[in-house]
Chains A and B, each alone.
Chain A
Amino acid sequence: MDQLLAYIIALPLAGFLVLSMAGRQLTAKVIPWIGAGTISIAAIITIFLGIQFLQSPPASGAYQQLLWQWFSAGNLSVSFSLRMDALSLVFVFIITFVGALIHIYSAAFMRHDRDYARFFASMNLFVCSMLMLVMADNLVLLYLGWEGVGLCSYLLIGFWYETPANCRAANKAFIITRIGDTAMLIGLFLLFKELGTLNIVEILQQAPQYFTSGSANSNLIALLLLGGGIGKSAQLPLQTWLPDAMAGPSPVSALIHAATMVTAGVYLIARMHVLFQLSPLAMTITALIGALTLFMAGCSAMVQTDIKRILAYSTISQIGYMFLALGVGAWSAGIFHFFTHAFFKALLFLAAGAVIETLHHEHNIFNMGGLRKKMPVVFYTFLAGTAALAALPLVTAGFFSKDLILWYAFSAANGNAFLWILALAGAFITALYSTRLILVVFGGEPKTHIGELPGQLMTVPLIILAFFSLTAGFIEWPHNLLHLTWFSDHVQRVLPATIVQDNPPSEFIFQTIAAVITLAGIYGGYGLYYHKSGVRWQQSPFLSVIHNFLFNGWKFDQLYEVALVKPFVYIARISKADVFDRVYNGIAQGNLKLNRLLSVSQNGSLRWYIAGVLIGILFIITLQLLS
């Protein structure tokens, strides 16, 4: 069993190598077989391993494989070894399974693209890096994967690099996540300085003995790691890159910017849960960031007109829920929301990609409409996805995961009413914009000419994802309904159980409130958008100011422009003429002058040169005689 771990990573890597080296020689028929085939085989291996894991869990709680010693210096020794425990298994399953479906979809979606091979090469490298991230048994290897996914995200956002805006978006994503990465790297250094090891298992074992709860060092390390998670997972205040990242192809948005990479922060926090438990401050901040992000991003999603930007803000908002869950100590609920979210958000992005392609690259939802009859498969799958996103009670996967988070936001040990109200407001907004999305895109009259309909290669992944969007939640039922806890039992082999406050209020009341809020949001969206009236934002100046404010993502870009970019550019400009530069410029100027002086002697006269040689010889002989 253990020996199979390496193949899961090696297959996408092999796909990447073949496609990047021989991609130009391969025909368009072979490329998708390599690109999607490697991931599909990796998915099959994962499912096989997963079944084995569930049937007879390994004694140590994890499959482990040591490949080779990576490097060792002083008392730091880093091995290239993989580890798959219950938590990693969930992530590996999502990455390979959803990844395989997205690759199959891409085979059709990208078929006309000139850089078909480059696309699959980057996607395969991404899957390889992401698997490395979640299967690493030490933090250095994890960081390798962490930077690898950042690189692939950059490459794929800027995939259509001939448009300058796409390159800007790619740079923005890379630079902003780099802020978080730097914080995380410093956190790793600090962790190594304190504990002398970067092996994850050893850290989790030693940390409780070494750190006292709430000590300055444990707070600092947890907050630095949280910084890394915030950057990668597009949480407040580093969320501004994700909406722009939609410049990449739709399958990229589905795989990287919805299902997998942006949840790396969630994985990191869950993986390092012991450190976070030792730092109540970091936990509180995580929960607060999650709650604020889910609310603010939800508000922005409500007013966007670009279908992919709506989904991007919605992704930020849903990851906010996961952070909220982790912050209040509801570890398994956060991972469960990751699990369900990956299905329905990947589905929504893929379906949106199908719609965009069919409508000749139309992104504005108000130019769509009337697609319900024309594209029934996409409509019904999209409906399933939005229902799951809105957390329609009992019939969708989103309900089961989001309901758990809402409940724990109030009742878990770290939870409180403020977080709960924000999460509830977020749930209302989510339901509202989900309804708006489906009504505006698929209802009403057609406004744009419809092109070629998506083929089976695109619709079959949609149907599979739709199936899971509806049913993936059934493996975990609330405590007062059936009380089925397969998922949390599985994850709690690694993660601590959620501590609930003493005498919690009745869970049933909370579920009812959540369900009523969701239905109210759906009804609100229905009332506002069914007769294509919408909110008349532009009518009153006050509303249009709010609309612009939300439309621009709470003006964070403008804030950073004024607060950081402009001062930086200003400082860079004035430091162009600082005193140090004068020293160096002076040296350069002096050399230039000397050069002009000496170049006079190069007058082209042969006899002058001979005289020069002669004087040189005389000089040397004189020196010899004198000494």
Chain B
Amino acid sequence: MSSFNVSTVLIVASILFVLGLIGVLTRKNIIFMLISVEIMLNAAGLAFVAAGAKWQQPDGQVMFLFILAMAAAEVSVALAMVLQIYHQHKTMDVEELKELKD
């Protein structure tokens, strides 16, 4: 833990975040979009942990626990909704789920 470069970790975190973002924007399957969102959350968590380590504060890790719990809750709700969507529309393709348009 002694030799540890914060900026490297932050670069890794931002790469992960951008990867997730690209996934959300380009994927058509709704499950992959969810996975991409999880990647983005983890990127944010990694940034928190790194920041906590830099300043020798436990807050960063506490925040990561929060993010973990929130992600678990979010994913359970989102998966339930995905199941419903599949039941009613027989598809996972977001491009075909456009019923809410004006």
A: which residues have CB within 8 A of B? 599-600, 602-607, 610-611, 614
Contacts and interface: CB of A to CB of B under 8 A. Distances in A.
B62 interface: no
A603 B24 CA distance: 18
A607 B25 contact: yes
A603 B101 contact: yes
A602 to B, nearest CB: 4
Contacts of B99: 604
Given A610-B24, A611-B25, A614-B21, A605 B102 contact: no
A619 to B, nearest CB: 16
A603 B102 contact: yes
23 contacts: A599-B102, A600-B102, A602-B101, A602-B102, A603-B98, A603-B102, A604-B97, A604-B100, A604-B101, A604-B102, A605-B95, A605-B98, A605-B101, A606-B33, A606-B94, A606-B97, A607-B24, A607-B25, A607-B26, A607-B95, A610-B24, A610-B25, A614-B25
A595 to B, nearest CB: 10
B86 to A, nearest CB: 15
Contacts of B95: 605, 607
Contacts of A602: 100-102
A137 to B, nearest CB: 66
B26 to A, nearest CB: 8
B68 to A, nearest CB: 23
A599 to B, nearest CB: 4
Given A602-B102, A610-B24, 8 more contacts: A599-B102, A604-B97, A604-B99, A605-B101, A606-B94, A607-B95, A610-B25, A611-B25
A105 B70 CA distance: 78
A605 B98 CA distance: 6
Contacts of A599: 102
A607 B99 CA distance: 14
Interface string B68-102: 00000000000000000000000000110111111
B98 to A, nearest CB: 3
A614 B95 CA distance: 19
A597 to B, nearest CB: 11
B21 A605 contact: no
A604 B98 contact: yes
A254 B94 CA distance: 77
Contacts of A600: 102
A603 to B, nearest CB: 5
A605 B102 CA distance: 11
Nearest to B99: A604
A604 B25 CA distance: 15
A557 B35 CA distance: 81
A605 B25 contact: no
B96 to A, nearest CB: 10
Contacts of B94: 605-607
Contacts of B97: 604, 606
A148 B13 CA distance: 77
A594 to B, nearest CB: 14
A593 to B, nearest CB: 15
Contacts of B21: 614
A401 to B, nearest CB: 78
Contacts of B102: 599-600, 602-604
A112 to B, nearest CB: 59
Nearest to A613: B24
Contacts of B33: 606
Nearest to A599: B102
A372 to B, nearest CB: 80
Contacts of B25: 607, 610-611, 614
A67 B65 CA distance: 70
Q: Which of B21, B95, B101 has the most CB of A within 10 A?
A: B101
A108 B62 CA distance: 85
Nearest to A610: B24
A610 B30 CA distance: 13
Which of B21, B26, B99, B102 has the most CB atoms of chain A within a 10 A radius of its CB? B102
A441 to B, nearest CB: 73
A600 B25 CA distance: 20
A599 B101 CA distance: 9
A573 to B, nearest CB: 37
B77 to A, nearest CB: 16
B19 to A, nearest CB: 14
A243 to B, nearest CB: 59
Contacts of A614: 21, 25
A553 B97 CA distance: 73
A600 B102 CA distance: 7
A177 B48 CA distance: 78
Nearest to B24: A610
A354 to B, nearest CB: 69
A607 B98 CA distance: 11
Contacts of A610: 24-25
Q: Which of A599, A605, A614 has the most CB of B within 10 A?
A: A605
